[in-house]
Amino acid sequence: MDKPIPLPELEQAINYWRSRLPSQGDESRLCAEASALATPYALMIIGHRREIDPRELSPAALAAYLGWRAAHGAA
């Protein structure tokens, strides 16, 4: 996967995982997939970036993103 990931897609992937695996515990802990995507999402917001290269994602974040894409029929 070489195409940059736009910020709205990353947000959609986070929301997908949040709806599929809701927050847990008194601290409302995110599921592992949403948590993995939250870090690059936050860094993009702070850095005023509109997209991120998939190679910049951790293995867990990339797996969560690709899982979201697969669930939505994306190649």
Banded model confidence at residue 26, pLDDT cuts 50, 70, 90: low
Asked if residues 33 and 70 have their Cβ atoms less than 8 Å apart, the reply is no
Mean pLDDT of 39-65: 96
Asked if residues 65 and 14 have their Cβ atoms less than 8 Å apart, the reply is no
Classify residue 48: in a domain, yes or no. yes
Written as one string, the DSSP assignment of 19-59 is HHS--BTTTTBPPHHHHHHHHHHHHHHHTT-SEE-GGGS-H
The domain of 16 spans: 5-21+31-71
- Rounded Cα distance between 60 and 48, Å, is 23
Banded model confidence at residue 74, pLDDT cuts 50, 70, 90: low
Classify residue 26: in a domain, yes or no. no
Classify residue 50: in a domain, yes or no. yes
